[in-house]
Chain A
Amino acid sequence: MNTTVENVRNIGISAHIDSGKTTLSERILFYTKRIHAIHDVKGKDGVGATMDSMELEKERGITIASAATFCEWLDHEINIIDTPGHVDFTIEVERSLRVLDGAVLVLCSVGGVQSQSITVDLQMKRYQVPCLAFINKCDRSGADPARVIGQLRSKLGHNAVALQIPIGLEANFQGIVDLLAMKAVYFDGSNGEKVRIEEIPAELRDEARKQREEMIDAATMFSDELMEAVLEERPIPDALIIAALRRGTLARKITPVLIGSAYKNKGVQPLLDAVTRYLPCPSDVENTALDLEHNEAPVVLSTDPDKPIVALAFKLEDGTYGQLTYIRVYQGTLAKGAVIVNTRTGKKTKVGRVVRMHADQMEDIEAISAGYIGALFGIECSSGDTFVSPGQNLTMTSMFVPEPVISLAIFPKDNKSQINMSKALNRFTKEDPTFRTHMDEETNETIIEGMGELHLEIYVERMKREYGAEVETGKPRVAYRETITQRAEFNYTHKKQTGGSGQYARIAGYLEPITEGPEDFLFVNEVRGGAIPTQYIPACEKGFHLCMAKGPKMEFPVTGVRVVINDGASHAVDSSDMAFQAAARGAFREGYAKAKPVVHEPIMKVVVESPTEFQGAVMGLLNQRRGMIVGAQDEGVMTVVEAQVPLAEMFGFSTILRSATQGKAQFTMEFAVYRQVPQSIAEQIAEEVALRKKSAA
């Protein structure tokens, strides 16, 4: 590593499914000479793109796990995180954005800003990631970059500024006009590796001049010097425009827009130039950690390589040589032989091999210094863990992890699969915090939980392929919840005073629904005058809390309950922690039955994009599934239907949607809200639960 931190770029490439992220990453690697041949995502040569290292990804043509890759361009070191585009894997996208300094938002010049782009954009906003937009697929029929720029402004609210205009479009797409240099750029050679610069074609000159003025106009907002130069009509040096645009981009006030076609090898090199010019280097971005010794007070980190180490493990992978931990160093230098402490576990580790990743190949290096991304071998940790130098007690801000909404029972086919399955589950839960697993004590089934049907499907497939674990799956189950709808009193006495040491405890108070705030359980002690001795209060709380895990109504987790105790009684000899816990359980059951419990189900926000002629059919499908259609948005050839549909009704929707629309529609789905289940459905669920209990017994 001979470059300074100013010349480092940690970028992500994120976008809608099939916008061509992986193809673009592949081209970048080719032009930066990290690979020597280009393979297409669904290539005929059967090799597959380099970034899609997992076998399964190659087969499905989608990117599952973000592979971190390193490359060099014009004295700059660029670390690229290739992020998955499907919404079921958003935890991967979010995790990547956390460690990135900048991003390239890839948009399809035909599809424009699609629903997934909006989700990704929201995530970028959440983590304040500055970005460039790349309008890809300009060679496709129907390509219209100007429309996409308009959508960037209207739909995403970006101040999109075009830095280039296309020379020809669709099949006639030849190259681009660089509005900064005011030159035409063409890409020759079999792989577009030869960049030929010429004068702008006469017919585009006026347009180019107009667009350049617009660009400079937008840039003047960020540089007084530039503003003066424009007003005085002095010649404007490129460096001044670049500096102004960069300032705007870093503040997320400008989104420079570049165009091209990765598949046709056009416009990729200028994109790399723009990455080095406009996206931030690690020291441009302020990162904060939380100080655990001072009540989680935020601490600003500096990219000084001589300070104590602070690093974040953001991704784990199981390689042939053991666990590979992708890590971003925020402060200090993580060198071979250094001692680091995992803040979560407090465990000390000595750093063994340090490598730099290039998809699934790697290169050994001596150290990773602040601002860089690399990988470590043989470190035992979970993803999201923070590593620091001994003596420090910092943790990187916790990442937003959504609760799983769907679960599935899995059964290994034989003994060998059983062993492999537990190995695989162990690995997956470490890699992905949204993927969870547990054992159902009543049915003795292994349950996996995740963010969607496809999410779980992919893991089941990976178990088979990577671990040789043959498993059968049960029917997916929705994560229902129970809650109460009104206040109810309880007054319960737990008494067992017949022989042996007795048990006595009485608890009185009330339960009520929590209407505001995120808490699922609140315990309030309003006991006056020592009716319940203080030492038993924690036991009462524990007793109530334990009841929340499984509701008395249908055994779903209970949420949104505030427990207030205001009276009780104890016995000098027979009261104990145990007795009060038991009394709390009894009191909860008593109050709960009177508090009108109901079942809530997860409602998903479903957005279907389909050609206009199928929109009637699509709405019919959604309507059949208890969906409430919020609206239909006409986008010319495409219509976007937005609906809220219960997750329970969405199983197998992708297949049904494909067959109803000749495969031309696609949909995205994300968790929206928990809502009460209608009475008839609640009865059905009760029957299912009863049946399941019976079969387990």
Chain B
Amino acid sequence: MKSAASPMFIRSSAGRVIKLKDRNTAMLKQELILRNPLRYLGFEREDVLAPGEFGAVLAHAGVGKTALLVQLALNGMLRSRNILHVSLIDPVQKVNLWYGELFHHLADRYEAPQIKRLWDSILPHRFIMTFRVDSFSVPKLDERLNDLTEQGIFKPDMMIIDGLHCNASLRPAMEALKTLAVKNGLPVWFTVHTHRHEQPEDDGLPASFSPLVDLFDLVLELRTEHADIHITPLKGALTGAPAAADLLLDPSTMLIKDRA
């Protein structure tokens, strides 16, 4: 996959040429990246997860799991990282809508032509793959992934799996996924649907998820309190990060609130 962003500086015999238009887009990109509030969770690494690591976002239905992950993905795309979005619930069109909506919320204070250009330039960094829940299997995903990488169509740097029902019975599949992730050097984010009737255990994790928790390096929970959505790290966040405990999600835009 060729990088779509053209170099900012082009050397020519006439001296150094700075393309103003590209610089504008690059600056907008940089600003959007800097505004990524996940930094407040206290991670050194831009990608949050290291290659082969698993992250999970836990929440009840409709709280904003997908929205949070799509923001992570957008952030990656802005940094020219290739994101593979695997959805087991929504068709391609709908996933695409998620990205479009959130991107426009993120960038709504900028001028239209710039936003459009930026959107066009980051789109090639995303690939959506959808499966029906019943037809999803790790060997199948592996085969698809090989199709993409071998032909040089797309080489992901990060993967998102949305809609997998994580419970104890899934252990073998999750282990296979781990192998796949390590082999391809992919950090993988999952959404985990929790149920209201399920009482969390002492560590705050739902009982159905506990048997799998050792596979995950980071677990975030989204919880609604009054009109706010709180993002709380249940496992893996750096301790002592000042704002980690009460990062908020804005329910109107589903964006992480800019606390600055």
Task: Name A residues whose Cβ lies closer than 8 Å to a Cβ of B.
Answer: 155, 485, 513, 515-516, 615-616, 619-620, 623, 628-636, 640, 642, 675
Contacts and interface: CB of A to CB of B under 8 A. Distances in A.
A619 B135 contact: no
A615 B91 contact: no
B129 A632 contact: yes
Given A513-B113, A616-B147, A630-B128, 20 more contacts: A155-B91, A485-B21, A515-B112, A515-B113, A615-B147, A616-B148, A620-B151, A623-B152, A623-B153, A629-B127, A629-B154, A630-B96, A631-B92, A632-B127, A632-B144, A633-B91, A633-B92, A634-B129, A634-B130, A640-B92
Contacts, number: 63
A636 B92 contact: no
Interface string B116-136: 000010011001111110011
Given A515-B113, A636-B135, A631 B153 contact: no
Contact of B135 (A155, A630, A634, A675): A634
Interface residues of B, number: 29
Given A515-B112, A630-B96, A631-B95, A620 B153 contact: yes
A642 B91 CA distance: 11
Contacts of B127: 629, 631-632
Contacts of B130: 631-634
A19 B96 CA distance: 28
B132 A634 contact: yes
A636 B131 CA distance: 8
A631 B96 contact: yes
Nearest to A623: B153
Contacts of B136: 634
17 contacts: A155-B91, A485-B21, A485-B113, A515-B112, A615-B144, A619-B151, A620-B153, A623-B151, A623-B153, A629-B153, A629-B154, A630-B92, A631-B96, A632-B129, A633-B92, A633-B130, A642-B92
A628 B153 CA distance: 9
Contacts of A513: 113
Nearest to B1: A623
Nearest to A620: B151
B241 to A, nearest CB: 35
B112 A631 contact: no
4 interchain residue pairs of minimum CB distance: A631-B128, A616-B147, A631-B92, A634-B131
A600 B194 CA distance: 48
A631 B147 contact: no
Given A619-B148, A620-B151, A636 B112 contact: no
Interface in B1-45: 21
Interface string B149-162: 00111100000000
Interface of B: 21, 85, 91-93, 95-96, 111-113, 120, 123-124, 127-132, 135-136, 140, 144, 147-148, 151-154
A52 B245 CA distance: 69
B148 A628 contact: no
Contacts of B112: 515-516
Nearest to B151: A620
Contacts of B96: 630-631
Contact of B147 (A485, A515, A619): A619
A675 B120 contact: yes
A373 B236 CA distance: 71
B215 to A, nearest CB: 24
A485, A516, A615, A632 pick with most chain B CB within 10 angstroms: A632
Contact of B153 (A155, A515, A619): A619
A552 B131 CA distance: 49
Contacts of A619: 147-148, 151, 153
Nearest to A516: B112
A485 B112 CA distance: 13
A675 B121 CA distance: 12
Contacts of B151: 616, 619-620, 623
Contacts of A620: 151, 153
A632 B128 contact: yes
Nearest to B146: A616
Contacts of B21: 485
Contacts of B131: 634
B54 to A, nearest CB: 23
B93 to A, nearest CB: 8
Nearest to A155: B91
A233 to B, nearest CB: 34
B157 to A, nearest CB: 17
A423 B130 CA distance: 51
A516 B111 CA distance: 11
Contacts of B85: 631
Contacts of B93: 642
A596 to B, nearest CB: 8
Nearest to A616: B147
A628 B147 contact: no
A485 B113 CA distance: 9
Contacts of B92: 630-633, 640, 642
A628 B123 contact: yes
Contacts of B129: 631-634
A565 B89 CA distance: 54
A445 B131 CA distance: 50
A634 B163 CA distance: 14
